[in-house]
Amino acid sequence: MSQIVYPCAACKIQRRKCGEKCILAPYFPPNDPQKYLVVHKLFGTKSILRILQGIPVEKRADAVISMVYEANARRDDPIYGCAGAVCRLQRQIFQLHLQLATIKAELLNSQANLVSLETGFCNGGDAESSVIHNKDDLLFLQDGEKPIRKWY
């Protein structure tokens, strides 16, 4: 008795027979037709086949994952696609860096105020002087960052 072979999602949607040598079968299972539909809508079957045939077998699964991601991104953002997602993430990173710098400045100012309260020392308007007394007060800063000074 022969095993029943179900066509992959690509062959099922295109209403063609799915043979043992179907290049799309390992990547578009019959139980997930939406995965194929979204990729097909953006790339088309010929392009999908050409892309998969042009790369080594061991990298094809990654290529399909990338195509599905790009197709979903393009469906969600038809103009920018993946590039829009990258831009949003870069903007978010920039905003987080600004937020981190603000918090570091507030922390440095709080430490400086604490030091000046404990010592009773208050700088007198000299732009070159700082309430930071030693480099241990700046250990929390990352290399290459300039200390934020507070002048009284």
pLDDT tens per residue, range 34-64: 999 999 999 999 999 999 999 999 999 999 9
Q: Which residue has the higher pLDDT, 2 or 51?
A: 51
Domain that holds residue 118: 91-138
Confidence at residue 125, expressed as pLDDT on a 0 to 100 scale: 46
Is residue 82, in this structure, part of any structural domain at all?
no
Count how many domains the chain has.
2
Question: Is residue 152 within 8 Å of residue 117, measured between CB atoms?
Answer: no
Q: Which of 27-36, 115-124, 126-135, 142-151 has the highest mean pLDDT?
A: 27-36
Question: Is residue 112 within 8 Å of residue 69, measured between CB atoms?
Answer: no
φ and ψ at 37, to 5 degrees? Answer: -60, -45
**Average of per-residue pLDDT across 62-73:** 95
From the CB of residue 67, how many other CB atoms can be counted at a distance below 10 Å?
21
Residue 152 has pLDDT above 90, yes or no: no
Is residue 130, in this structure, part of any structural domain at all?
yes
From the CB of residue 102, how many other CB atoms can be counted at a distance below 10 Å?
11
- Two tokens, residue 2: 């022969």
- Among 122, 121, 149, 125, smallest CA distance to 137 is for 149
Instruction: Express each pLDDT in 126-142 by its tens digit.
Output: 444 444 544 444 454 44
Question: Is residue 9 within 8 Å of residue 35, measured between CB atoms?
Answer: yes
**Average of per-residue pLDDT across 87-108:** 95
Domain boundary, last residue among 48, 76, 104:
76
Q: Which residue has the higher pLDDT, 123 or 54?
A: 54
Confidence at residue 122, expressed as pLDDT on a 0 to 100 scale: 56
Q: Is there a single domain that holds both residue 58 and residue 109?
A: no
